[in-house]
Structure 1
Amino acid sequence: MEENIQLLQLCLTQIEQQLGWGENSRWTHQDFEELSERIYCTTKIRLSVTTLKRLWGKVAYTSSPTLQTLNTLAAFAGYSTWRAFKLAHTPAALPEEPPTEAVVSEVALPELPQEIRSHRKATAYVYTLAICLILIMVGFISYGLIFKSFSVDPSAIRFSSQPVTLGVPNTVIFHYDATASPSDDIAIQQSWDQRLRENVSREGHQYTTTYYYPGYHRAKLLINNQVIKEHDVYIKTDGWLALIENEPVPLYVKDKIIDKGILQASLSSLEKFKLASNEQIPWLDYYNVQDFGELASDDFSFETEVKNETNTGNAVCQESRITIMCSNGRMLVPLAIPGCVGNINLTLGDLYLEGRINDLSAFGCDLSQWQKLRLEVKNRQVSIFLNGKQIYRTVYSNDAGKVVGIRYKFMGAGAVNYVRLWDKHKKLVFEDEFE
């Protein structure tokens, strides 16, 4: 157990050195958000901000991390699995035994001839090597028997789901049949977040859970921690939804958020939750998740106008993020005042660019005024325009799927003037002038 703790700390230290962000004692909530995004872009597995804070000791937690979490950390650190990380570091982590001389007698014994000593060393080496090979063979055989005894035929397992309503919170009823499982270790996981995993009975057939955030979630049925079945759970909104990010349940803004042609929750709405002050401003999100048909993320256009006048306390950077949510990824375009562009990050499909090591200065602007942002994607070639001027152009590799939603995220009470979406044929698919 102590060895595992030491190895975990070693892995976290390697990640810190890889990031180059300085002492983790100075990391902010935003740093952990960025780390979560970076891990996801590298491994395609998302570790939540809360999980990362627990690992780095920012949140009290007594349980040990799961094997999947350890595998994800190891993969981000550059290793194939947690086992590979252990094999690479366990020998180095063990202190060397200092050479000792056994005292047989007070009378010095004559030293054996060199040829006899060499023969004995060679014989001992051969015996040791033989024993190691035998142990390795036994291990492989045992592993094969265990794996075989727990093998599962996916075709014999059933797994489906159905939301009970529109919007959030939303209860989803999962229907499953895992009676063919050789093991009782069966669990259903809502999405990528391992904290949202619950064990279920092998003899059972229904399980309900609640989703608090809209979006395109990938639910999983696991047996012995192995994903056997998975499918998409599409949680839509009923028009525009405003919420304040909060763990584990967000705070939904019930006040009016559309007025005089603008989408905006007032700062007084945030203050009602006693979260907003001159020093501490929460993240405010606007969601519109709906069926846009077969609008492909590889070929579409998007345009909007935003501003964020909140500039006090931790919101001094006026950071704003505009996201096109996709079934297999996302397009996230950040904006901030010019002095804070080193803190922002750009995500386009599988491409993740940090402002810390990339020049994203073109995304700096005066957010106290309306900023017109346009995104054009054609065959995965992305062009980004700000106030009619092209500020960035690049290409990403992997298909992000179809467009499933729009999300605005503001540090403070940001506002949206309009939003428009076109397909590859320049046909207007969605438009909202907030009138």
Structure 2
Amino acid sequence: MVSELSELQRCKGLIEQRLDWGPADTWQTTDFENLSELILNETGVSLSTSTLRRIWGRVEYNHLPSTTTLNTLARFAGAGDWRAFVKQNKAVTVEPEQQPGAVREQKGTQSWKRLAWIATAAVVVILASMLAFDKGEPQLEKNAYTFTSQSVTKGIPNSVIFTYDASASPTDSVFIQQSWDDSKRVLVDKNSHKHTSIYYEPGAYQAKLLIGAQVVQQHKLVIGTAGWAALIDRPKMPVYLKKEEFLRKDGMGADITVIGQKNISLQPEPPMIKYFNVGNFEPVPLDNFSFSTEIRHDYNEGAAACQLTYISLLTDDTPIVIPLSSKGCVSDLNLLSVDSYVSGKKADLSALGVDFTDWVSVSCLASGGKIRYAINGQHAFEFPVPSRPIRVLGIAFGFRGAGSVRNVSLRTGGKTVFEAL
């Protein structure tokens, strides 16, 4: 029991590093709601805000979470499941006094309150050097460093070549990070100038060059698609679909036969099927756009009874995520409209519960400083348009099980920018 609790503490520490939201004891309710949304989008499993609050000690609870919860946390922390996560830590023995404190930068201050249980001796040495460097050291001169990137192709998976100059670094702890995800952070040679990484999903990423725990350079990186792309989400690497396996004359969607041919079972845990179209149209300003489509969830057997579905407008900032489900499952939905977030646990999201026996029409329109969402022609929600400039770069769909899409349209200023299916 003590060992398992220690492993849970290590898992929480890695998740906190990945999020980089500052000390967990300062997190607000909205932070736990956002974490629940991130976990759902990445793992397909919904962990409630109350569950996450118990795990992070906001509510007195001295027992281990369920196996499903542990597996989900481990997946979000970068492991295949809880057993694999624990096994990684047992691969190396570290004396307690050698385990360094987790380092996190928050508004120029350091947070030393949690231990980062490290999976390998190499990472322990790396973090120890980061700790020694960051403690009491002044901020680095960012102009002394350069950092650019170039993808090798258009499509997924896609390798990106990073070109960097970190020769001015006072330490060997130089890292390149693919995105906001700390688990995608890699140690590089400060005296070299090239590093490559593989991106398995399209989208807009924030690549970073770090010296110790300090970000010295960062830039936006868009991984596009060659037209429509589809994948079946898996823990280690997605299973990619050929265009003829999901593109049809009357729309788009991989049926359960195609999924079965990939030796992927639909039960007891249906996979998440994702469709993307990124970087194939001129970026559309978020304060002047309209989007519409029709979708249908095609599988409701067993654990897919909720028919969980989402539509996402991928931007160069936070995305728009419109979730849908069967009517009885709206409590598990979370709506994200860039800076506005609504949890089905605390709000009435019944407008997002639909009957998938027929096509469902979904649209959103920005006008008068508001983004207005409609389901089957009926007004559902509206949220303010952020004041900062944000552009729509791509479109994505996700189905827990199997689903279909047709009649996709994106417009700006009365002009059609993208139309398909």
In structure 1, the partner of 2:181 is 193
Q: Which residue of 2 aligns with 1:412?
A: 401
Query: What does residue 102 of structure 2 align with?
Result: 67
Classify 1:177/1:395 alpha carbon distance in 2 versus 1 (closer, same or farther; 3 Å).
same
Q: Distance in 2 between matches of 1:416 and 1:159?
A: 39
2:205 corresponds to 1:217: yes
* 8 Å contact kept, 1:186–1:202: yes
Whether 1:179 aligns to 2:167 is yes
Shift of residue 208, structure 1, vs aligned partner: 1.1
The residue identity in structure 2 corresponding to 1:232 is K
Instruction: Decide whether aligned partners of structure 1 residues 146 and 356 sit closer, same or farther in structure 2, where only a CA change above 3 A counts.
Output: closer
Aligned to 2:145: 157
User: How far apart are 1:8 and its partner, in Å?
Assistant: 4.4
Tell me the SS of whatever aligns to 1:431.
strand
Cα distance between partner residues in 2 of 1:416 and 1:257: 10
Q: Give the whole-Å Cα distance in 2 for the aligned partners of 1:211 and 1:374.
A: 30
Superposed, 1:10-49 pairs within 5 Å as: 29-31=43-45
**In 2, are the aligned partners of 1:174 and 1:206 still within 8 Å (CA)?**
yes
Q: Which residue of structure 2 aligns with residue 344 of structure 1? A: 333
Instruction: Describe the shift of the 1:227–1:144 C-alpha distance in structure 2 as closer, same or farther (beyond 3 A).
Output: closer
Q: Is 1:357 aligned to residue 392 of structure 2?
A: no
Shift of 1:317: 0.7
Residues 143 and 310 from structure 1, CA distance in 2 versus in 1: closer, same or farther, beyond 3 angstroms?
closer
**Aligned equivalents of 2:85, 2:74: Cα separation in 1:** 14
Instruction: Tell me the residue number matched to 1:112.
Output: none
- Note if 1:236 corresponds to 2:261: no
User: Which residue of structure 1 lines up, in the alignment, with residue 137 of structure 2?
Assistant: 147
2:412 aligned with 1:377:
no
Residues 1:329 and 2:318 aligned together: yes
Aligned to 1:311: 300
Q: Distance in 1 between matches of 2:240 and 2:81?
A: 29
Give the CA deviation at 1:399.
3.9
Q: How many residues align?
A: 352
Q: Which whole-Å deviations, capped at 9, do the CAs of 1:149-200 have from their partners, x for residues lacking one?
A: xx52211111101001110111111111111111111011111111211111
Asked whether the equivalents of residues 244 and 251 of structure 1 are also in contact (C-alpha less than 8 Å), the reply is yes
1:248 aligned residue (229, 236, 256):
236
1:204 is aligned to 2:239: no
User: Which blocks of at least 5 consecutive residues in structure 2 are unaligned?
Assistant: 14-23, 54-71, 90-98, 115-131
* Structure 1 contact 186–201 (Cα < 8 Å) conserved: yes
Which whole-Å CA distance do the structure 2 matches of 1:145 and 1:236 have between them?
A: 40
Counterpart Cα distance in 2 of 1:143 and 1:210: 29
The whole-number CA distance in structure 2 between the counterparts of 1:296 and 1:16 is 32
For residues 95-119 of structure 1, the C-alpha deviation after alignment (integer angstroms, 9 at most, x for no partner) is: xxxxxxxxxxxxxxxxxxxxxxxxx
Post-superposition CA distance 1:70-129 (Å, at most 9, x none): 779xx9xxxx9644x67xxxxxxxxxxxxxxxxxxxxxxxxxxxxxxxxxxxxxxxxxxx
**Residue pair 1:323, 1:408 contacting (<8 A) in 2 also:** yes
The SS at the match of 2:245 is: coil
- Structure 1 299/66 Cα, relative in aligned 2: closer, same or farther at 3 Å? farther
Alignment-derived partner of residue 50 in structure 1: 75
Distance 2:397 2:8 in 1: 39
Q: CA deviation at 1:242?
A: 0.7
Task: Give secondary structure in 2 for the equivalent of 1:173.
Answer: strand
Equivalent residues in 2 for 1:385-400 (5 A)?
385-395=374-384, 397=386, 399=388
Q: Distance in 2 between matches of 1:202 and 1:14?
A: 35
Q: Residue 150 of structure 2 aligns to which amino acid in structure 1? A: Q
Deviations 1:333-353 (A, max 9, x none): 111111011111100001111
* Equivalence map 1:237-276=2 (5 Å): 237-254=225-242, 255-276=244-265
Structure 2 Cα separation of the partners of residues 251 and 215 of structure 1: 17
* C-alpha distance 415-378 of structure 1, shift in aligned 2 (>3 A): same
Distance in 1 between residues matched to 2:278 and 2:305, nearest whole Å: 29
Q: How far, CA to CA, are the matches of 1:48 and 1:226 in structure 2?
A: 26
Superposed displacement of residue 34, structure 1: 7.3
TM-score (norm 2): 0.73
**By how many angstroms is 1:392 displaced?**
1.6
1:320 and 1:293, CA in 2 relative to 1: closer, same or farther beyond 3 A?
same
Secondary structure (helix, strand or coil) at the match of 1:195 reads helix
Q: Is the 8 A contact 2:158 2:198 kept in 1?
A: yes
The farther-off stretch of 200-209 and 56-65 is 56-65
Q: CA, structure 1 residues 301+158, in 2 after alignment: closer, same or farther (shift >3 Å)?
A: same
Displacement of 1:379: 5.2
Gaps of 5+ in 1: 40-46, 87-141
Tell me which residue corresponds to 2:277: 288
CA 257–57 in structure 1, closer or farther in 2 if over 3 Å, else same: closer
TM-score (norm 1): 0.71
